[in-house]
């Protein structure tokens, strides 16, 4: 087991170099309904445009962690849209009746309706897929080139995953959380069970036992820093914000953040309450402000953030013994 824990530590040490540009930018924002959309006609649409391939280039593990941070708030960034949506040009290609027949049967069989299961069922190869989109582009001529049009729909990584990737490739390419279950069948992942302290210790050891597939959804809860807190810190102390951005990513997490800026528990909770009151999207998603806060942090996690020791933090956030929480 010691050897395995060492492997996890090495993996995490490499992983925690992840950063968008500076430590303070590894964050989760409030939903933003003001962003304009440019969405082709489709059978269903939601969210904002997919994130294009961009610098800095992340390793798969770094991207996996970033995806989990994004997915803590569905309003931050929706790269799911064109995975779960079948665009009208594709429906027209196979025929609306055939599409509806397949869709109804897939739902009965527990198969998810998405672009991967669609192209598999109707045996559409990559060249045909692109030809269908080219026909749409030629008819509309909204974008300066086909490549520019394609970038609004799918990245190269997403196309690779749709036609050649496995479930993990699909998850990473389209930005799905590890907690969202199978990418191809209607099999949601089970929630974290209610456990005694001893059972939780065993559970933590079990879920972190494979260094090739760490549970990034657990780590994200500890690493994510909401933009409302970054805004608060920027307004209260620009100089401290500058030193925060200069810290190594390995040391950036919600505990070190509140310590660095001297944010007490009451201010922390009040900031979340204010963000809820100012956000119709949050009010629609959560019946009460307490439901919203409970979805972000358990009481045990708040206790650990504000006064707990390293063991308390690891236990509250389901992190392994060797993880450097401070």
DSSP per-residue codes, 250-281:
GG-SHHHHHHHHT--HHHHHHHHHHHHHT-HH
Which pLDDT score is estimated for 74? 54
CA distance 41 to 132: 14
In order, the DSSP letters of 3-41 are: HHHHHHHHHHHHHTT--SSSGGGSEEPPP-TTS------
Q: What is the pLDDT of residue 195?
A: 95
Residue 14 in tokens:
């490499």
Asked if the structure places residue 185 within a domain, the reply is yes
In a domain, residue 295? The reply is yes
161 vs 175: CA distance, rounded Å: 12
**Paired tokens of 58:** 């992340």
CA distances from 29 to 25, 227, 242, 282 (A): 10, 5, 19, 12
Residue 264's DSSP bridge partners are none
Q: CB neighbours (10 Å) of residue 60?
A: 11
Rounded to an integer, what distance in angstroms lies between the CA atom of residue 224 and that of residue 177?
Answer: 14
Helix (H) or strand (E) holding 165: none
Task: Give the pLDDT of the chain (326 residues) as one tens digit per residue.
Answer: 334 444 444 444 444 443 333 344 445 544 443 333 333 444 433 333 444 444 457 788 888 998 998 888 755 555 677 899 999 999 999 999 999 999 999 999 999 999 999 999 999 999 999 999 999 999 888 899 999 999 999 999 999 999 999 999 999 999 999 998 899 999 888 889 999 999 999 999 999 998 888 999 999 999 999 989 999 999 999 999 999 999 888 889 999 999 999 999 999 999 999 999 999 989 999 999 999 999 999 999 999 999 999 999 999 999 999 899 98
Instruction: Give the tens place of pLDDT for each residue, 58-82.
Output: 788 888 998 998 888 755 555 677 8
For 206, the domain range is 2-316
Tell me, yes or no, whether 324 lies in a domain: no
Full-model pTM: 0.79
Residue 135 forms part of a structural domain: yes
Residue pair 282/293 in contact (Cβ under 8 Å)? The answer is: no
d(CA 96, CA 131): 19
pLDDT on residue 71: 85
Residue 325 inside a domain? The answer is no
**Look-up of token digits 């925060």:** 244
Q: Which tokens belong to 60?
A: 């798969």
Q: Give the chain's domain count.
A: 1
For residue 323, tell me if it sits in a domain.
no
d(CA 104, CA 113): 9
The pLDDT assigned to 9 comes to 47
Q: Please report whether residue 211 resides in a domain.
A: yes
C-alpha span between 225 and 236 (Å, rounded): 16
Cα–Cα distances (Å) from 245 to 17, 25, 58, 181, in that order, read 13, 8, 19, 34
């Amino acid at each position: 087991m010691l050897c395995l824990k060492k492997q996890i530590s090495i993996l995490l040490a490499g992983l925690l170099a992840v950063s968008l540009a500076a430590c303070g930018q590894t964050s989760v924002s409030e939903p933003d309904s003001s962003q304009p959309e440019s969405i082709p006609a489709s059978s269903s649409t939601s969210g904002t445009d997919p994130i294009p391939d961009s610098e800095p280039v992340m390793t798969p593990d770094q991207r996996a962690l970033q995806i989990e941070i994004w997915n803590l708030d569905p309003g931050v960034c929706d790269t799911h849209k064109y995975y779960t949506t079948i665009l009208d040009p594709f429906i027209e290609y196979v025929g609306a009746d055939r599409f509806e027949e397949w869709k109804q049967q897939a739902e009965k069989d527990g198969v998810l309706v998405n672009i991967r299961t669609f192209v598999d069922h109707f045996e559409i190869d990559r060249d045909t897929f692109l030809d269908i989109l080219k026909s749409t582009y030629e008819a509309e001529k909204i974008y300066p080139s086909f490549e520019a049009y394609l970038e609004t729909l799918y990245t190269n990584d997403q196309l690779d995953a749709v036609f050649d990737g496995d479930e993990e490739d699909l998850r990473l390419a389209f930005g799905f959380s590890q907690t969202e279950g199978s990418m191809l069948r209607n099999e949601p992942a089970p929630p974290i069970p209610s456990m005694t302290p001893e059972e939780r210790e065993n559970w933590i050891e079990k879920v972190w036992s494979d260094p090739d597939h760490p549970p990034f959804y657990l780590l994200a809860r500890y690493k994510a820093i909401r933009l409302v807190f970054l805004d608060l810190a920027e307004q209260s102390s620009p100089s401290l914000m500058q030193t925060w951005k200069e810290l190594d990513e390995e040391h950036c997490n919600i505990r070190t953040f509140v310590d660095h800026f001297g944010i007490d528990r009451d201010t922390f909770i009040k900031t979340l309450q204010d963000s809820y009151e100012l956000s119709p999207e949050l009010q629609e998603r959560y019946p009460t402000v307490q439901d919203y806060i409970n979805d972000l942090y358990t009481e045990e996690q708040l206790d650990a953030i504000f006064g707990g020791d390293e063991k308390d933090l690891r236990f509250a956030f389901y992190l392994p013994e060797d993880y450097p929480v401070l």
